[in-house]
Amino acid sequence: MPDLFETMKTMRAMRRLKPDPVPDELIRKILEAGACAPNGGNTQRWRFLVIKDRKIKQGVQVWYKRAFDEVVGPRYLKSNPPPGVTREQYNRQHAAVEYLTDHFHEAPVWIVACLEEGATAPTRSSGASIYPAVQNMLLAARALGLGATLTTRHLLYEKEAEAALGLPPGVHSYAILPIGYPMGNFGPVGRGPLKEIVFQDHWGTPYQGV
């Protein structure tokens, strides 16, 4: 098992997944990692919905693909590659995103990361109580040799997708993690240099430690 820093540096978004079943004991380890994460006030309002039912996944995939066709796909074609990524790499990423779109429902397991919010309206701080858990689960999946990715695209059709997921009133999804054995290999993530994104004391003043 790789060490933590190696795990983070090689935790690529794995969008091409085999349909092979994933043992429940591995999913349990991923969920346990999620439940270890920090959250606002230790209120533990997170809820994790494990989806294996293909019909449910197909119901969500309809909206997931529509969001790709209408928003995500055109945006990729018009956007420049992000820092640390070549045009060729960006095109491969786009192809992988399109593949996931078409095969989203075939991933053997989804973990839907939710918050039980009741009548409370979500705020900018709401994600602080669920996204650390999502990151823990992604790291756990990588450490176990499983592919996964964080996707929120279904939220472009939030009401329709959450209805397809069967979420009750007061519970909202913040991410879906499709999980399975990867078709490809883990490798270094493509990122820009720290000197371009880290400042010291004043915005725009380079941090001297990089």
Tell me the C-alpha distance between 118 and 10, whole Å.
Answer: 37
Count of other CB atoms within 10 angstroms of residue 162: 20
Q: How far, CA to CA in Å, does 22 sit from each of 65, 73, 133, 183, 185?
A: 24, 29, 20, 14, 18
Q: What is the model's pLDDT at position 192?
A: 86
| Bridge partners, residue 180, by sequence | 147
For 167-198, b where at least 16 C-beta lie within 10 A, e where not — what string? beeebbbbbbbbbbebeeebeeeeeeeeeeee
Q: What percent of the chain has pLDDT over 70?
A: 99
Residue type (1 letter), 93: Q
Q: What is the pLDDT of residues 82-114, one digit of tens each?
A: 888 888 888 888 889 999 999 999 999 999 999
Kindly report the pTM of this predicted structure: 0.92
Q: What is the model's pLDDT at position 75?
A: 86
DSSP track, 99-146: HHHHHGGGSSEEEEEEEE-TTPPP-TTGGGGTHHHHHHHHHHHHHTT-
Q: What is the pLDDT of residues 31-59, one digit of tens each?
A: 999 999 999 899 999 999 999 999 999 99
Tell me the C-alpha distance between 168 and 183, whole Å.
Answer: 35
User: What 8-state DSSP symbol labels residue 37?
Assistant: S
Tell me the C-alpha distance between 149 and 145, whole Å.
Answer: 13
Nearest-5° Cα angle at 122, 120 to 126:
115
Nearest to 102 by CA among 141, 71, 58, 146: 58
Q: Which residue in the block uniquely carries the two structure tokens 């997931």? A: 64
Strands (E), 3-120: 46-51, 109-116
What's the pLDDT band for 142 if we cut at 50, 70, 90? very high
Strands (E), 44-108: 46-51
Q: What is the model's pLDDT at position 1?
A: 60
